[in-house]
A and B are shown apart, each in its own frame.
Chain A
Amino acid sequence: MLANQMQGGLGTPGALSHAYVQHPPLRCDIPDIRGLFYDDANKFLIAPTADRILYWKIAPSTPSGPPNSDPVNEGSVLSVRYSLDHKAIGIQRSRHEIEFRNRETGETCSRKCRADSETILGFFWTDCPTCDVILVKTSGLDLLAYEPQTHAFRLVESKKFNVSWYLYTHESRLILLASGMQCTIFTGYQFSAGGIVKIPKFEMTMSKSEANNKPVLAVDDVHIVTVYGRIYCLQLDRVSISLNLYRFYRDAVVQQCTLPTYSSRIAVSAVDNIIMVHQIDPKVVILYDVFLDSYAPVSAPLPLLVRGLPSNIRQASQAADSQSSAYGGTIYGEGWNFLIPDLICDGENGLLWKLHLDLEAIAASSSDAPSVLEFLQRRKSDPSMVKTLCLAIVRTIILERRPVATVAKAIDVLLDSYSRLIKMGVALPGVRRTHEQNQQSGGQPVEGSHVISQVPSTGTAVSPAVNPDEASGVVNRSLQSNSGVEHGIDRALLNTSSDSDEITNISGATGQGTSGHQTSDAANKRQQVVGEDSRPLSSGTSMQHGLHAGSVSISPIEMFQSVFALVEDEMMGDPAYLIAIIMEFLRSVSRSGLKAPHNLYVMMTMLLARSNRYAEIALFVSNKILEPSKELAVQLIELGLHHPPTRKLGMDMLRERGLHHDYVAALLQDGYYLEALRYARKYKVITVQPALFLEKAVAKNSAQSLAAVLSFFCEFTPSFKTTSDFGRYRHILREMEMV
C-alpha cells in the first residue's frame, strides 16, 4: 500500500503538512485544577488541586488512564517539580518560598529567600554530583544538596549575580541567565552528572529599532533546543523578525546563522532531532535538520495538521479553522504552550498534544533520494515506518530508472548506516543475529526484516562504556594552520549529559536518541569558522552516528528481499540496468565490509544469462564478484544446460567449495563416470549410489567399462557384493560378454 503511494507520490507535491498532532489528545481538563505545570525532567504533566497534586507521566507514551496523585498542603502553587528519583516534590509557593515534600513520609520543609532583596525566579532538580536542587533567584543561584534522612537542604554554593530571567531545560542541563538592560547578556551553566560547566558570558544580538529605544529580550523569545545531543539556542529578534541560532560549546557560544522568520511570535519544538520552528502568526511550521550543519529548511513552511479527526470533517474542509472546531480548540491558539521537547499543552482546553513528523510527506516532498534517505536514516521515532519508506524509495528510484550513480548513492547511504550500526557492535540481539545469518555460507536469509523489526525501539540503551567515542567530550587541542590568528582555540563540545543512561531513563524515546548522539556530535562538528573572530574550531573524532540507529538500518538481506526481489519482475525488459544497480550494491556492500545474500548472486547470474552475457558471468566468477556458494554453483550448472562453459564454472565451484557429493553427481550426470569414480575414491564419496555409475557404464554399452566399475565398487565398498545391484549388473555384464 505504502509502496503504491510512494511510486506515485515521490517528488510530487500534495502533502499538506510535514508535522502533525494526533487526535485524540490527552485530556487533562479535570475540574478543580489550578493550572497545568510541566516537569520536563520527569516528563510529568502536573495539575495541582486544592490539596492534591495530580500528574500524568507522559513519557515514553501518553497515558490513557486517570492521573496519579499526591497529597500536598494547601496553598498557592507557582510551579511543581518532582525530584529525579521521584522521592520528593518541590513546590514553589510564592516568589519567596519553595516547599519540599517527602513523598514517603509526608514531611515538608521550605526554603525561603530574603523577601526584601531578592525573589525566587524558579528552581529545578539536577543530577549534578555536588548538589540536588538549583534555586534561581534574582540575585544569583543557590546550589542546594538534599539530605533525605533529615529531609533537609544544605547550601553547597551560592553564585552571585543579577538575573532578570532564566531559562533551563533538563534535556540540555543548561541554564541561561539573562541580565543587562536589554536582557541580552547571558551567563550559562551546565549542571550535568559530569559536573558543572560554566559557559562563557555572551551577548545575543538585537537589532535596533528605528525609534532608538532599546528593545528588551523576553524569555519567550529565547529557546534552548537539544538535537543530536548538541545544544542550540534560538533567539527571536522581534525588531528584524529574524531568528538567531547559536550553538553551545564548552568554552564558547557560536552563532551559526540567522533563520528567516515569518512571525513576531515563534515556538520551538524538537521532534526526533528535527527542530520545528512554529510560526505562530501565520500558523505554519518550518523544519530544520542541522545534522550536517546545514541550516536550510527541510521543506517549505506548511501548516500543522491534526490527524485522526473524524473523516467527514477532514474531507469537508482542510482549513485549520474547521479542524479547530472539530476538536474544540484553535491551532496555535492563545492557550498553546509548547513543552520540551515535543509537546503542546492547550491550557485553555486542557488538552495535551504530541507533535509528530510526517516522514512520508517529507520524503515525498523531495526527489533527491540520497538526501531523503540520509534524512530518514537519522530518524528514530518510527523505525518500521522509516524502514518501509526507505525501501520504497529505493524501489521507486530503480523502477523509475534514475541514473545509476544516483541509485548507487542512495544504496551507499543505507548500507553506510547499517555498517555503522554493525561496527558499533551494538548489543541488539536481533541485528546481530541477522548479521550472522548473513555470513553463513549457504544459509537461507530467513525473515531478516522480521528480526530487525522486532527490535524494541526503546529500552535498549547501551552503556556508555561500550561507546568508543566516549572520550569525545574531552577537550581536543589542535591548531589550525589556516587560522589568521596566532593561536588556535580549544573548543570542546557542550554535551547534554555525560551519563546517557540517565537521559534514557528520564526521557524515553527522545532521550534515547539524544544519548545515542551525545558523543557523536564531535564528529559532525566539521571545521567551523566563528563568524566574528574567524577562529577555527577543531574536531577530532571520526564520523559516528547513532548508537541506536539499529532499528532504522536496513541489512543487505532486507535490501535483497524488499528491493531487488520485488523489482526483478518489472525490470525484465532492461536487465542491464538492474545488473548495473546490483553491481553498485555489491560495491557498496563490500566497501562497508558487509556480505550480500547468496540469492542476490543467483539473481544476478540469471539476469546476465538472460541477456546472453555468459562471458561476464565467467569474468565475475573468476574475480569473485559473484561469491561462490552452493546456490550459485547449482544455478550455474542449470544455466549451463544451454552454455557448457558456464556449466563447467558451476562444477568447478562445487569442487572448490568441497561439495564432493554434488560434484560427483554432476560429473556423473554429464557422463564422466570414470572421472567421477576417481574423484569419489580420492575424497571418499560414498553417498552417490553405485547404480548410477553402473547405469552410465551400461549406457556406454561397453563391457569393459561395466566390469571396471563393478570391480571398483567391490573394492571401494566391501558391502557392495551383498547388494542387489551387484547381482543385477553382474548379470548384465555377463550378457554383454556373451554377445
Chain B
Amino acid sequence: MGLSSAAAGDGAQLCVFDLRRGQQEGQELDKILFFHPADCPILLQLSVIGLCEGIVTFTRIFSPEEDCEVIESEKHSHVFYQAEPDIWMVLVVEKTKDDESTWRCGALQGILKEAHSLFAMFHGPIRTLLDRQPSAELARCHLRTFLTDYFSDFYVGKKLQFPTYRDSLKERGTIQMLTVSREAALEVQSLTTVLGSCLGNVTCQSLILFEDLLVSTTLPPDDTLNLYTYAVLRLTPRALFSNASSWSYLRKGTSVNAGPTSSSSNGTTAGERPLLREKLSKGKDGFIAADFSATEVRGAVPLTSILWFQQAEERMYLCIYQHKSLTILLLIPASSLINGEEGITHVKKQMLENASQKIVAVEQKLSRGWGGENAYHVSGYRYLLVDPDRRVSRASPPGKVTTLAKDSLLALNRLRQEVDLEKARYKRSDPCIDKDFEVCIRTKNNAWVVAKISRGRELYMALEKGGETLLYASTAVEKFSNRYCEGAFSTD
C-alpha cells in the first residue's frame, strides 16, 4: 500500500529475485520478482540485483554450504536470505551517522524469513507459483500485494523502520507462551479435543491464543510459528484493535492503488490479501472474517483462507473465532471438505454448538490466572530467554525494556551479534552438539550484560543496578535460572 508513495526516500530497498530466471543476456529483468521501492528506475533495480547476484555467486566459491548473509559497505548493509533454492530476498538498509541504525544482521534476516514463511503459508512456495505460471505474473502479483501489506507494519511515518539495537531483547520468529496451571492446561486440552472433532471423523487442528500468547497448538512447531505470527500480527484482540486504529485509515485510499490492477480478472480475495489490515473484523457470531461488502464485489471466490502448512504437509481452511481475550484458530483440512464454504459454515456451527461452553470456561479460567502484560516481568532483570528447539521465547515486557540505558542496549546488541556468529561457527563444526558458553560484559554505564547458552537454550540479560563484581552477575544469573528456568542455566 504505502510503498509506492514512500518513494526511495526511506532509504531501504527490498528485492526478491530468482537466479534460475533471466540468465540470458537482455532478459535480466525476468529475474526480478519483487522490488521496493516500485518506482525505482529499472536500471538501478538491475544494478542492485546484479551486485547481489555477483556476491552470492562469488561467496559460493568459498562456502558452498553456507549462504552469504550480509555485506557491510560504508553506507549500506545488504542482508541476504535465500528463501528457497535460488530464490533470494535481499534487504538493503542505509546506515545513518547516529546509533539509530545499529542493528543486528540476524534480526533483519529474521524479518525476511518471517515474510517468506508467511507468504508461503498463504500462497505456497514461490517456486511452486513460478512453476505453475512460468510468466511469473501470479508470483509477482502475490509478492507485491503480500510484501506491501507485510511491510506496512514497519512504517513509522513515511519511513520504513527496521528493528534496531533497541529490540535486542526481542526474538523474531519465536512464540510467546502463556504459562498456565496444570488444571487450566487440562481444560484447554479438553477444549482442543472438542475443536478437533468439529468435522466428524477427520481431526481439525487448532491453535488457542490468550491475548498475544499461545496457549495450545496441535500443529508442528514451524507451522505453529507461522500461524501464531499471523495471529499476533492481525487477529488477536490487540491486533484487531489496531487494524481499526486511525493510522490505517490514512492509507485507506492508497490500498486500492497498491492492489494489482489485474485483481478483477483473477480475483484478489481475502485469502490472497490476508495481511490487509482494514478488512478484518469480528462478526456478530464471534468469527473473524474479511469484510468486503463495502469495497469489492464478491464473486464465487472463497471467503475463508486456505493455508498451506509445510510441516504438516496439508492445505487447511482457517476459521478464526474470538471470545474476549481468547482467539481460536481452527484449521480444517481442505481435502476433507468437499463443499467449500457450505462445509465451513457447518463446521462453524458445530464448533459453536459443541465448544461454546468450554470456550467461555477456558477464557474465564485463563483470565483469572492472567497477570496482565507485565506478568512475566522479573524485577531487577531485563531478560530474553530463547528455546530454539521449541521456537519459544520469553522476554521482559517491552515497557520495562525501554527503561534500560542506551549503552546497555547497544552493548547487548553487540553481544548478541557476537553470540550469533559464535553459534553459527559451532553449528558448522558439529551441528549435533550443543555448545555451552557464557559471556558477561561490564558496560560503559556499569551495567552487566550477560549471554548464556546452555544445552541449546539461550539467555540474554541486562542488569543495570548490579554490583561491582562478576560474582554478582553470575549469582544473579544463577538465581534467575533456578527461579524461572528450572535450573536450565545453572551449570556450575
Contact = CB atoms under 8 A, between A and B. Distances in A.
Interface of A: 403-405, 408, 576, 580, 583-584, 586-587, 590-591, 613, 615-616, 618-620, 622-625, 627, 644-645, 648, 651-652, 655-656, 671-672, 675, 678-679, 682
B351 to A, nearest CB: 14
Nearest to A656: B486
Interface of B: 177, 179-180, 182-183, 185-187, 189-190, 193-194, 196-197, 203, 216-221, 224, 389-390, 432-434, 436, 455-456, 486-488, 491-492
A403 B197 CA distance: 9
Contact of B193 (A404, A615, A675): A404
Given A580-B196, A678-B491, A619 B217 contact: yes
Nearest to A682: B492
Nearest to A655: B487
B182 A623 contact: yes
A625 B189 contact: yes
Closest 9 CB pairs of A and B: A645-B389, A623-B185, A587-B186, A580-B193, A624-B182, A583-B189, A656-B486, A615-B221, A625-B185
A652 B389 CA distance: 13
Given A576-B203, A615-B224, A656-B486, A408 B190 contact: yes
A615 B190 contact: no
A644 B390 CA distance: 11
A590 B186 contact: yes
B390 A586 contact: no
Contacts of A624: 182, 185
A616 B218 contact: yes
25 contacts: A583-B189, A583-B190, A587-B186, A590-B183, A590-B186, A591-B183, A613-B218, A615-B217, A615-B219, A615-B220, A616-B218, A618-B389, A618-B390, A619-B216, A620-B185, A620-B189, A622-B390, A624-B182, A648-B456, A651-B455, A652-B455, A655-B486, A672-B434, A679-B491, A682-B492
A587 B217 contact: no
A590 B189 contact: no
Contacts of A651: 455
Nearest to B184: A623
Nearest to A674: B436
Given A656-B487, A675-B436, A679-B491, A583 B186 contact: yes
B193 A586 contact: no
A652 B488 CA distance: 7
Nearest to A584: B190
Nearest to B197: A404
Contacts of A671: 433
Contact of A587 (B187, B221, B491): B187
A583 B195 CA distance: 14
A265 B2 CA distance: 91
A452 B177 CA distance: 42
Contacts of B220: 615
Nearest to B215: A623
Interface centre among B185, B186, B220 (most CB of A within 10 A): B186
Nearest to A675: B436
Given A645-B390, A656-B486, A671-B433, A587 B197 contact: no
Contacts of A576: 196, 203
Contacts of A622: 177, 390
| Max chain A Cβ within 10 angstroms of own Cβ: one of B185, B194, B220, B456 | B185
A594 to B, nearest CB: 13
B102 to A, nearest CB: 33
Given A583-B189, A619-B217, A648 B183 contact: no
Contacts of B216: 619
Q: Which of A616, A619, A627 has the most CB of B within 10 A?
A: A619
| Most chain B C-beta atoms within 10 Å of own C-beta, residue among A591, A613, A624 | A624
B410 to A, nearest CB: 32
A81 B81 CA distance: 99
Contacts of B182: 590, 623-625, 627
Contacts of A580: 193, 196
A587 B190 contact: yes
Contacts of A652: 455, 486, 488
Nearest to A403: B197
Given A624-B182, A648-B455, A583 B491 contact: no
Contacts of A625: 182, 185-186, 189
A675 B486 contact: no
Contacts of B190: 408, 583-584, 587
